[in-house]
A and B are shown apart, each in its own frame.
Chain A
């Protein structure tokens, strides 16, 4: 058993044990209620109410991005990153504006994955279905990787021992894999509900703790006023968050996060449009407050408690007490909580600190489970069912989906382990960087989605060409791209610093989609009219 770091005593073992037992219990309950059909496994019978829907949408959106990445970025760049919170109300508006139409179409036409809807609208097309599934998988891989990575960061801070990081990532990955495989969407949604509460609590307690540590609200604000001027202005200490960068990340990142496959399937699973309306409001109010008055305060207070330093090359680094590498910024919340709460509040502080750590684990698990579950649906429905065994029974497809979950989890785990132990291969950087890359991929669904839901002028060939170009641009901009010479690398670096890479790709995607659509034939007009009618008519859930 791993020994716990000194200030926390044995409390983490007890609370973590209880939390993990609860997850197992939920998965068993969900399995016993399941009806062994594909629709039940992937969409919980399309019967999710407003409480479960709003918390599962929030928990999927939250991730370790919220509890480790956001305070880490606020710690590094200063107050400018607090403005990132404003992407949440925009995403909240999209939950209803896009989600309600997606839900109505999904219910009327029996869709399970985003590919079902997109390909049904544009006409049966194998390349388009594969492209949509590919976007989903490309989104999921970095997202699951960063959640597993968060488990390692957390374990390293909570427990002592040379293998704390490795054990942390393996435990988080295997437990998440287990309950998603057993209980499907119902298990994911129920655990997300508890995890959603936990992580809201964690975000707010974290912010409150940072304020208390610095002597209450007045002491906190006084400490902030003494921060370097770069930390209190735009574009922040690293100069990365220019208004153009912030604007494009907040607008397109918000929409990209809301139409990523796991969220899209949550719209199909919602019981009614009213469910999504309530979810949009709860999401906007609760999540933004948790950001603005929770984790962002930890990052800003962290700068006062642990001043930033520079390495010999002049590169901005976290305080050595927080971390010794550029990735170490992400540790700030854990370090503030672990170092100060038990000292300030004794055993109660240790319990609160552990609860926050469990909340971080919950954030990571709730996002991994949703994304693994969505990937399983994409690869089973959009690939296996169409191209490998079109006549497979629902029972067989559900089992293939479970195997996909296991395969994806193990692949993500191996990627994290290899990048940690290899000096030459390390695509896994700071959490926010991985998150933005994932969202850049999912943003490539935006043109098709807006076309189907509102514009209805695009064509299948336009959608295929635009999406392909968008994916290629993201790949060229990503750290996965092998170096192609100094001059090219310099141009790419300059472009990356102007606006978000997802927006560059989106620009290429929209331009190609528009041009190709001008010269090709659109979908059958009768089908387009039927779609337009079905997406605005409430049907199927009326009494």
Chain B
């Protein structure tokens, strides 16, 4: 992968990772947080607690980011010559 493309992809993945933190554990939580004071709030989604399901969703996105980074951005030429471990 050319150096410039790798750098651009690295920046994109970093930004998306920060977005997952903002959405998964930050202010993004307000989008789905059930309000205990309001009747009819959805405390579960597909049987799972809504907040927990939200966490699983963003974990899946984070995992994809790490795997993409592992197979692209983090694969440097020098690294591939490293002696086996």
Contacts and interface: CB of A to CB of B under 8 A. Distances in A.
Interface in B59-85: 59, 62-63, 65-67, 69-70, 74-83, 85
A204 to B, nearest CB: 16
A541 interface: yes
A208 interface: no
A273 B59 contact: no
B56 interface: yes
Contact of B81 (A100, A232, A280, A543): A543
Contacts of B35: 233
A229 B75 CA distance: 46
B17 interface: yes
Contact of A229 (B34, B58, B69): B34
A271 B85 contact: yes
Nearest to B61: A89
A537 B76 CA distance: 9
A190 interface: no
Contact of B21 (A250, A272, A280): A250
Contact of A246 (B17, B26, B69, B85): B26
Nearest to A224: B49
Interface in A252-292: 271-275, 277, 280-281, 284-285, 288, 292
Nearest to B17: A93
- The CB with the most chain A CB atoms within 10 A, among B67, B79, B83, is that of B79
A93 B69 contact: yes
Contacts of A234: 29-30, 33, 51
B51 A247 contact: no
Nearest to A271: B85
A137 to B, nearest CB: 30
A82 B52 contact: yes
The majority secondary structure among interface residues of chain B is helix
A452 B59 CA distance: 30
B80 to A, nearest CB: 8
Interface in A214-251: 218, 221, 224-225, 228-230, 232-234, 243-244, 246-247, 250-251
Best-surrounded residue of B17, B33, B77, B85 (most CB of chain A within 10 A): B85
A273 to B, nearest CB: 4
Contact of A80 (B20, B26, B27, B51): B51
Contacts of B52: 79, 82-83
Contacts of B17: 89-90, 93
A538 interface: yes
B43 A229 contact: yes
A111 interface: no
Interface string B26-48: 11111001111000010110011
B34 A233 contact: yes
Given A292-B59, A537-B78, A280 B66 contact: yes
Most buried by A among B35, B63, B67, B77: B63
Nearest to B34: A233
Nearest to A100: B74
Interface in B1-40: 14, 17, 20-22, 24-30, 33-36
Contacts of B81: 538, 542-543
Contacts of B34: 229, 232-233
B51 A83 contact: yes
A49 interface: yes
Interface in A97-123: 97, 100
Contact of A273 (B44, B48, B78): B78
Interface string A284-320: 1100100010000000100000000000000000000
Interface centre among A90, A292, A542 (most CB of B within 10 A): A90
Contact of B83 (A90, A100, A243, A542): A542
A335 interface: no
Contacts of A85: 55, 59
A277 B51 contact: no
Interface string A523-541: 0000000000000011101
Interface of B: 14, 17, 20-22, 24-30, 33-36, 41, 43-44, 47-52, 54-56, 58-59, 62-63, 65-67, 69-70, 74-83, 85
Interface of A: 49-50, 79-80, 82-87, 89-90, 92-93, 96-97, 100, 218, 221, 224-225, 228-230, 232-234, 243-244, 246-247, 250-251, 271-275, 277, 280-281, 284-285, 288, 292, 300, 537-539, 541-543
13 contacts: A89-B65, A232-B44, A233-B33, A233-B43, A246-B25, A247-B25, A280-B66, A288-B63, A292-B55, A538-B76, A538-B79, A542-B83, A543-B82
